[in-house]
Amino acid sequence: MPSYRAPVGDVNFLLNQVFGIEKYSNLSGFSDLSSDMLDAILSEGAKLCEEVLAPLNRVGDTEGCKRHDDASVTTPKGFKAAYDAYREGGWIGLSADPEYGGQGLPYTVAAVVNEFSSSANMALAMYPGLTMGAIAALLTHASPELKQTYLPKMIEGEWTGTMNLTEPHCGTDLGLIKTKAVPQGDGSYKISGTKIFISAGEHDMSSNIIHLVLARMEGAPEGVKGISLFVVPKFLVNADGSNGARNGVSCGSIEHKMGIHGNATCVMNYDSATGWLVGAANKGLAAMFVMMNEARLGVAIQGLAQSEVAYQNAVAYARDRLQGRALTGAKQPEKPADSILVHPDVRKTLLTIRAFNEAARALVLWTALKSDVAHRTDDAKARQEADDLLGLMTPVLKGVLTDKGFENAVNAQQMFGGHGYIEEWGMSQFVRDARIAMIYEGANGIQALDLVGRKLPKDGGRGVMAFFNEVGGFIKANAEDETVKGLLGPLGKGLQDLQQATMWFMNNAMMKPDNAGAGSTDYMHLFGLVALGYMWALQIKALGPEKAEDEALETKRLLARFFMERMMPETATRLARITAGADSVMALSADAF
Amino acid sequence: MPSYRAPVGDVNFLLNQVFGIEKYSNLSGFSDLSSDMLDAILSEGAKLCEEVLAPLNRVGDTEGCKRHDDASVTTPKGFKAAYDAYREGGWIGLSADPEYGGQGLPYTVAAVVNEFSSSANMALAMYPGLTMGAIAALLTHASPELKQTYLPKMIEGEWTGTMNLTEPHCGTDLGLIKTKAVPQGDGSYKISGTKIFISAGEHDMSSNIIHLVLARMEGAPEGVKGISLFVVPKFLVNADGSNGARNGVSCGSIEHKMGIHGNATCVMNYDSATGWLVGAANKGLAAMFVMMNEARLGVAIQGLAQSEVAYQNAVAYARDRLQGRALTGAKQPEKPADSILVHPDVRKTLLTIRAFNEAARALVLWTALKSDVAHRTDDAKARQEADDLLGLMTPVLKGVLTDKGFENAVNAQQMFGGHGYIEEWGMSQFVRDARIAMIYEGANGIQALDLVGRKLPKDGGRGVMAFFNEVGGFIKANAEDETVKGLLGPLGKGLQDLQQATMWFMNNAMMKPDNAGAGSTDYMHLFGLVALGYMWALQIKALGPEKAEDEALETKRLLARFFMERMMPETATRLARITAGADSVMALSADAF
């Protein structure tokens, strides 16, 4: 049975020592957040995740969700009680607007709790996770009336939320959506169509389910410019806020998936269901994008979360498993064999995962803080700077953290030998659960295209220049600092490769966009390596020259060195692929594949 | 429902045009093998795999194997009939000794059929596959009497075979084996102990199951030098060859695995089961290694096989899936969207898989031919040269083809977006099935250690020098050949990186073996890249300067270029990691992980 310990200490170090969260006290939600209070919140969240959510992870996988003949769906045993505990702790509204009952704490804190809960039980954490996304979309775009109707109960967790985008023939290309919305003259619409892959679409955890649905009104412009967003509750809401009649939306079936079995992934049938427009007509995609950006960061965090829990269990196994002897002679001669932790290849595998995890966690928090600044500051310049970097980094985090998170889960599973392949050990589930994060909320190829095609050229490259200046500035400013000196060479080389790749796109992709498409995924990973490397430099800088009392913190010096020696060099291969261009990629006729 | 077409044309090209199979006509089994006959055999095998095995692949996954209260095991519906068809086609004894009823054809041909059947239905193909391994071990080490008792029915497929190595506390470190063998004075032994992860350990396909079991006799030397190999039939065999009494071996349970559900992975309990010694006492590991080398090549082929079938299905999906528009403007304006095959990132992903597949297939056949020479030639020098390269390349193939095979299956699954995560589409199964190949027959970390620790220094590096000379010689000899000229630069650079890494080990790992261990996996993959690159050069050389009539063959030029531009550059990153050495890997105390 796998176990999980939330990395509270690491988060405290990052938020207090590395990113100086006290500097943000001018922002709403940050002002009262002392480091003691932060620690108390995180410790409470950790406890819930470790003791309530984690023990149900295997149960969720083996039992899965069940759809009954009446189209109702039952979640795995224990899930409802665990969800209730989560909800009663106030975790769903942690960073939501206090006007509607939220606690108004920083999004950054919610992101941390998201990591903990996703490590503990990703399938379960998705129910509140999707609700938080729906809350964000309603908060930004819905009318005051809709907000008042839905937000308080969603923030409280009495009702949950979903997002309905995908249809059988389209996921990436939402311009092809066929679901129809017909105005009823009373401000409501009748929604009809079929949506697929709807996470938490139907279940037994909440008394109502609030669906956010993309649909097309008759006569709307073709493509994405004719899509509107609607709110469609499972039960219509009476004037007094109680549940009224059953709406015309139901679960047609649930999918048999590779993983996240505990989350009901539904085909949702809308049959003249009553819905209300959220935001302006035909501006549904923009409204949904509010939800998607936050959702993409949430998915990036899932990648990290699976990598973290897989690492913890792989280390525990490696420490206990006696097999063979160290290459340099027996290390535990009193035992029949040495622990496999003596083997360089095992150590290298584990260190690769951990050197990723601790940098990825830093990068998540660095980006989450940008999100908080972007949404909460009154300073226009600061907001724009934060928004630039948030937009730029969102696809990088989504693509890189989920690709590497999955890869790390696979490598952690490998440490178990044959036992890793046996479901009871739980490592297979981490791999299978982690796999979806590379696909949903925009498959990673789409993230790479978003980065290269949209985010890079946006505002004349203002965001990417800001990033280069920040990293380059750090390297310059710390050239003589003995604490980080050893890291700056490899970081500088990585930055140089990234800048060269960026330049290459500028020179070669304007006239021939396929050159950007052919290098997009490599560029995304190249960007990720530099960003993660920068996070290592920031951490070691914050650690300072003195030996840390905490062993885990002192270990960071080694991890930073390991990252620079063994992970950063990959930038060269990525650059070589990018500058190879699109010729050999595009030459083949479609028939010849 | 996924589909499969066996790549008969590619194999014909490789065996006839690239490797000149007619040059081997002095070896037994090759002499009568005209290219027409080869094509006929492969086409027949392809048909069986496409029409009988492949349609059962999903059934096997969803239904799995079932153990009953009487310890019997039922395989999925249709498996027995398909196995019978396989057996009746004579495929099990394809390359086995005609003295015992085999057809005596080259192992190379059996390796090809192994690829086809593993693509079609890996779980099913493992039943005859393990039997072939057991046949090989008995042929080499068993007494004439044991051979006569077991081989004919195993070669016929009336009986199947297994290999029993792993115990709960040991897999890699076989020196820890506890299963006991007690001599009975009549030439037989009583075997007692528990073996785990026994593929095809119990099932309903054959009338008897012949277990090869590693066990320790009382008073035997400690560790691997005290292990003996025994043959333990499920039913004792009467003097007339019929099945006699049930032996004391039974299936205690079957494992719940991530994949290959159609293959029964059993815990086998030996309770004073009667067995007979195979080969010399305490030399069991050597006897088992005969089986393991061939089994490792077989597992390498499984990696390729999953990559191939995943590629085929990803291409079919990409061709049909309409989503978005080409970056350079609509390519199918008459349709609501373009096929996703227009997108450079999709093409890059597919080409990466295919450029691997066609080189990996070549490398499998190149290595299989070495195996045939090593086992069938009378020329001592030729045998030694072939044996050197076979030993060297076996861990490279096992490690690289299964690591990349899995990675490719994952990337092929990614082409399906959300559909890839849904079991009905079959892509998840390819990923889950491919995963085991990285683990069994020696986890890939062990393969890397075998390569670096044993195969590299063996006989003063004779094998690796032969490989360097062959590749280096090719580059030199073809420097002026316009057909391959463009490939030689990248190939030469890769070879140089590999030679530099080898040199670095020689200089740094003798005194400090951790330096070899810390770089072993990167070295294995670096070796694989150069070997695969060499296979591309050989193929293009064989293709010659004229345009090939066959489109698939002409496409190879592009694939070779793609490989050199985008895959070979990874050698630099691998070299950088290797030369980083073991310091940062070994510094951390076990507690600090």
Please give the pLDDT value at position B441.
Answer: 94
In B202-317, DSSP assigns E strands to 208-217, 227-233, 235-237, 243-246, 249-254, 265-278
CB atoms within 10 A of CB A485: 12
pLDDT tens figures, A72-131 = 999 999 999 999 999 999 999 999 999 999 999 999 999 999 999 999 999 999 999 999
pLDDT tens figures, B446-488 = 999 999 999 999 999 999 999 999 999 999 999 999 999 999 9
pLDDT tens figures, A167-211 = 999 888 899 999 999 999 999 999 999 999 999 999 999 999 999
Residue A188, classed as helix, strand or coil, is strand
Tokens of A192: 């009809």
Longest Cα–Cα distance of chain B, Å, equals: 83
pLDDT band at A293 (very low <50, low <70, confident <90, very high): confident
Please give the pLDDT value at position A107.
Answer: 96
CA distance B546 to chain A (A): 18
**Nearest neighbour of B337 by CB, restricted to A176, A315, A347:** A176
**In angstroms, rounded to a whole number, what is the distance separating the alpha carbons of residues B528 and B400?**
6
The answer to whether the CB of B153 falls within 8 A of the CB of B233 is no
Supply the angle between the helices A402-414 and A344-376 in degrees, to the nearest 10.
150
pLDDT tens figures, B125-159 = 999 999 999 999 999 999 999 999 999 999 999 99
Asked if A345 and B445 come within 8 Å (Cβ–Cβ), the reply is yes
**In angstroms, rounded to a whole number, what is the distance separating the alpha carbons of residues A67 and A76?**
11
Please give the pLDDT value at position B1.
Answer: 82
Q: Output the pTM of the full model.
A: 0.97
Tokens of A243: 């549940």
Task: Determine whether B441 is an active site residue.
Answer: yes
- Rg, chain B, Cα only: 24
One-letter identity of residue B424:
E
pLDDT tens figures, B206-228 = 999 999 999 999 999 999 999 99
Query: Is the pLDDT reported for residue B513 higher than 90?
Result: yes
pLDDT band at B102 (very low <50, low <70, confident <90, very high): very high
Of residues A267, A185, A271, A282, the one with CA closest to residue A230? A282
Residue A329, classed as helix, strand or coil, is coil
**In angstroms, rounded to a whole number, what is the distance separating the alpha carbons of residues B136 and B131?**
9
**In angstroms, rounded to a whole number, what is the distance separating the alpha carbons of residues A263 and B65?**
27
The answer to whether the CB of B237 falls within 8 A of the CB of B153 is no
Tokens of A590: 């479609």
CA distance B230 to chain A (A): 23
The answer to whether the CB of B109 falls within 8 A of the CB of B87 is no
Q: In chain B, which residues have their Cβ closer than 8 Å to the Cβ of A421?
A: 255, 257-259, 435-436, 439
Look at the alpha carbons of A9, A11, A14, A15 in this order and tell me if their dihedral is positive or negative. Answer: negative
pLDDT tens figures, B77-99 = 999 999 999 999 999 999 999 99
**In angstroms, rounded to a whole number, what is the distance separating the alpha carbons of residues B260 and B551?**
35
User: How many angstroms separate the first and last alpha carbons of chain A?
Assistant: 44
One-letter identity of residue A330:
A
Of residues B198, B8, B35, the one with CA closest to residue B119? B8
pLDDT band at B510 (very low <50, low <70, confident <90, very high): confident
Average pLDDT over chain A, rounded to an integer? 96
Q: In chain B, which residues have their Cβ closer than 8 Å to the Cβ of A514?
A: 327-328, 344
Phi-psi region of B263 (alpha: psi -120 to 50; beta: other; left: phi over 0): beta
Tokens of B342: 């227009």
Of residues B356, B427, B434, B429, the one with CA closest to residue B402? B434
Average pLDDT on A568-589 reads 97
Instruction: Please state, for a pLDDT cut of 70, what percent of chain B lies above it.
Output: 100
Q: Is B432 on the interface with A (CB under 8 A)?
A: yes
Query: Is the pLDDT reported for residue A301 higher than 90?
Result: yes
Average pLDDT on A129-154 reads 95
Which of B10, B260, B348 to mutate to probe the A interface, most A CBs <10 Å?
B348
Q: Is A168 on the interface with B (CB under 8 A)?
A: no
Size of interface A-B (CB pairs under 8 A): 258
Residue with token string 């030029």? B557
pLDDT band at A238 (very low <50, low <70, confident <90, very high): very high
Tokens of B148: 């006569």
**In angstroms, rounded to a whole number, what is the distance separating the alpha carbons of residues A444 and B115?**
31
Q: Is B580 on the interface with A (CB under 8 A)?
A: yes
Least confident of A191-200, A286-295, B416-425, B577-586: A286-295
Please give the pLDDT value at position A171.
Answer: 85
Query: Is the pLDDT reported for residue B291 higher than 90?
Result: no
Tokens of B530: 């150069």
Please give the pLDDT value at position A583.
Answer: 96
**In angstroms, rounded to a whole number, what is the distance separating the alpha carbons of residues B99 and B93?**
11
Please give the pLDDT value at position A241.
Answer: 95
Q: What angle do CA B214, B219, B224 make, to 5 degrees?
A: 40
pLDDT tens figures, B345-399 = 999 999 999 999 999 999 999 999 999 999 999 999 999 999 999 999 999 999 9
Query: Is the pLDDT reported for residue A575 higher than 90?
Result: yes
A-facing residues of B in 219-258 (CB < 8 A) are 255-258
- Please give the C-alpha separations between residue A564 and each of A44, A342, A356, A537, in angstroms, as whole numbers: 35, 22, 11, 10
Average pLDDT over chain B, rounded to an integer? 96
Residue A36, classed as helix, strand or coil, is helix
Asked if B410 and A406 come within 8 Å (Cβ–Cβ), the reply is yes
The answer to whether the CB of B586 falls within 8 A of the CB of B518 is yes
Antiparallel, parallel or unpaired: β A243-246 and A235-237: antiparallel
Please give the pLDDT value at position B288.
Answer: 82
**In angstroms, rounded to a whole number, what is the distance separating the alpha carbons of residues A582 and A494?**
23
The answer to whether the CB of B202 falls within 8 A of the CB of B264 is yes
pLDDT band at A290 (very low <50, low <70, confident <90, very high): confident
- Please give the C-alpha separations between residue A319 and each of A340, A342, A347, B68, B593, in angstroms, as whole numbers: 7, 9, 11, 36, 9
Phi-psi region of B209 (alpha: psi -120 to 50; beta: other; left: phi over 0): beta
Q: Is A350 on the interface with B (CB under 8 A)?
A: yes
Average pLDDT on A453-463 reads 95
CB atoms within 10 A of CB B70: 7
Query: Is the pLDDT reported for residue B162 higher than 80?
Result: yes
Residues paired with residue A257 on neighbouring β-strands, in sequence order: B422
- Dihedral through CA B379, CA B385, CA B386, CA B388, nearest 10? 140
Instruction: Please state, for a pLDDT cut of 90, what percent of chain A lies above it.
Output: 96
Tokens of B48: 């069986």
Q: Is B286 on the interface with A (CB under 8 A)?
A: no
pLDDT tens figures, B60-77 = 999 999 999 999 999 999
Please give the pLDDT value at position A510.
Answer: 86
Average pLDDT on A228-235 reads 98
**In angstroms, rounded to a whole number, what is the distance separating the alpha carbons of residues B89 and B78?**
17
CA distance B137 to chain A (A): 23
Phi, psi dihedrals of residue A508, rounded to the nearest 5°:
-120, -15
One-letter identity of residue A304:
L
The answer to whether the CB of A120 falls within 8 A of the CB of A426 is no
Please give the pLDDT value at position B556.
Answer: 98
Of residues B265, B230, B234, B228, the one with CA closest to residue B248? B234
Q: In chain B, which residues have their Cβ closer than 8 Å to the Cβ of A591?
A: 551
Query: Is the pLDDT reported for residue A32 higher than 90?
Result: no
**In angstroms, rounded to a whole number, what is the distance separating the alpha carbons of residues A124 and A115?**
13
Helix/strand/coil percent split, chain A, to 5:
60, 15, 25
Catalytic residue among B167, B385, B441, B482: B441
- Catalytic site positions of A: 441
Q: In chain B, which residues have their Cβ closer than 8 Å to the Cβ of A424?
A: 256
pLDDT band at A291 (very low <50, low <70, confident <90, very high): confident
Supply the angle between the helices A485-508 and A551-562 in degrees, to the nearest 10.
50
pLDDT band at B39 (very low <50, low <70, confident <90, very high): very high
pLDDT band at B294 (very low <50, low <70, confident <90, very high): confident
Question: Which residues fall within 8 angstroms of residue A433, CB to CB, at 6 or more apart?
Answer: A61, A122, A123, A259, A260, A306
Average pLDDT on B230-236 reads 98
Please give the pLDDT value at position A565.
Answer: 97
Of residues A307, A395, A397, A301, the one with CA closest to residue A352? A307
**In angstroms, rounded to a whole number, what is the distance separating the alpha carbons of residues A438 and A404?**
9
